[in-house]
Chains A and B, each alone.
Chain A
Amino acid sequence: GENVEQHPSTLSVQEGDSAVIKCTYSDSASNYFPWYKQELGKRPQLIIDIRSNVGEKKDQRIAVTLNKTAKHFSLHITETQPEDSAVYFCAAPSAGNKLTFGGGTRVLVKP
Chain B
Amino acid sequence: NAGVTQTPKFQVLKTGQSMTLQCAQDMNHEYMSWYRQDPGMGLRLIHYSVGAGITDQGEVPNGYNVSRSTTEDFPLRLLSAAPSQTSVYFCASSYSVSAGGPWEQFFGPGTRLTVL
The answer to whether A and B come from one shared complex is: no
Residues of chain A at the chain B interface (Cβ within 8 Å): none
Residues of chain B at the chain A interface (Cβ within 8 Å): none
